[in-house]
A = this chain, B = another copy of it.
Amino acid sequence: MTDRAGDHGHLIEHTVRSEELLRGRFLHVMRDEVRLPDGTLTTREYVVHPGAVMVIPMLDDGRLVLERQYRYPVRQAMIEFPAGKLDAGESTQRCAQRELLEETGYTAREWAWAGVMHPVISYSTEFIEIWFARGLVAGERQLDAGEFLDVYAATPAELLDDCRTGRVTDAKTLAGALWLQNVLSGAWTLDWQPALG
């Protein structure tokens, strides 16, 4: 066993060469040759992703705004916090404000950055920045063409019960529930900021 604060220099893999394996309409896949810590060579294949944001939107009555969306790869309608990919050059707060408005119609007066997660560290560069939103004001959503999703509200207790019973299995939403539970208990704190104008 090593210790919690252990150095990790002895674990690093170094790039030898990099090639594009697939440029699909949606997925961009690379194959790199890498040198392992013992000097041997191996191959790493991974999806290149621009990064994304997820929003935990809290209504004034304490309920959360959630979405139900059919996710084709897993062939299920999934319960999720609102989320979406970063546009080129877009800040993560700007993206969070845009995605919340487009998908749910809500704007929020206050925002707090919570942290970042990596959904699939073995085969994608994707990161998801986690934002909380409060002071919500309802409006008209602006779904992209071909985007179909339902919006609903649930109490934190209902969401956590859905995590426990397996109605929620989306990993980003489960990670959001960890943040939510600890923010609501006061164990973890947030630094609230006004919305970007």
How far is A11 from B127 in the complex, measured between Cα atoms in Å?
Answer: 27
Q: Is the C-beta of A188 less than 8 angstroms from some C-beta in chain B?
A: yes
A119 touches B119 (CB 8 A): yes
Q: Would A150 and B2 count as touching, CB distance under 8 A?
A: yes
Residue A175 contacts which of B12, B118, B152, B174 (CB distance < 8 angstroms)?
B174
List A146-175 residues whose CB lies under 8 Å from chain B. 146, 148-154, 158, 160, 162-164, 166, 169-172, 174-175
Report whether A6 and B150 are in contact in the complex, using a CB–CB cutoff of 8 Å. Answer: yes
Query: Do A152 and B43 touch (CB < 8 A)?
Result: no
Q: Residue A119 contacts which of B32, B34, B78, B171 (CB distance < 8 angstroms)?
A: B171
> Count of A residues near B, CB < 8 Å?
80
Residues 1-32 of A, flagged 1 when their CB comes within 8 A of B and 0 if not, give: 11110101011110000000110111101011
Known: A11-B69, A22-B29, A116-B169. A121 touches B74 (CB 8 A): yes
Chain B residue contacts of A154, Cβ below 8 A? 4
A23-63 toward B: CB 8 Å interface, digit per residue (1/0)? 01111010110101110101111110000000000000000
In angstroms, Cα B80 to Cα A4, docked, is 12
CB distance from A129 to the nearest CB of B (A): 10
Q: Which B residues touch A192, using CB under 8 A?
A: none
- Chain B contacts for A174, CB-based, 8 A: 117, 171, 174-175, 178
The answer for the CA separation of A80 and B171 in the assembled complex, in Å, is 14
List, in ascending order, chain B residues with CB within 8 A of A163's CB: 178
* Contact code string A55-79 (vs B, CB < 8 Å = 1, else 0): 0000000000000111111100110
Q: Which residues of A contact B (CB under 8 A)?
A: 1-4, 6, 8, 10-13, 21-22, 24-27, 29, 31-32, 34, 36-38, 40, 42-47, 68-74, 77-78, 80, 115-128, 146, 148-154, 158, 160, 162-164, 166, 169-172, 174-175, 177-178, 181-182, 187-188
